[in-house]
Structure 1
Amino acid sequence: MTSREYWKGVRTEMSKVVWPTRKELGAFTVVVICTCAVFALGFWAVDSGFLAILKAILGVTLS
């Protein structure tokens, strides 16, 4: 396969892509940011709980 054939194939495949509208892109962005925030809060809660358990059982501190 030559370089010219490769780029022709790339152009053909890119023309098949259905790009999101501006409204869809905004909605998807909000969903991604909210999902990241939920996971961050979840990891923080698990980490805080785990640290509380270690402090209670072993007297471990992070100072």
Structure 2
Amino acid sequence: MKNGKVKFFNDSKGFGFIKDAETNEEYFVHVSNLVDEIRENDDVTFELKEGRKGLNAVNVKLA
């Protein structure tokens, strides 16, 4: 599992971005890949999975 912080999340559109704590890379996250409800600036743990446009955050949980 990776650790990161929610940089942006749009509830109405159901997507956002998570910034990896170690690498500072940003990953797309979709509401369908959330375990817990998230908001901007939440600390989270997540896994990465190859998506159509690169790596996506999946199994996203509050840390």
Q: Same fold (TM over 0.5)?
A: no
Give the TM-score band, short-chain normalised: under 0.3
TM-score (norm 2): 0.17
* Structure with the greater alpha carbon radius of gyration: 1
Name whichever structure is richer in strand by fraction. 2
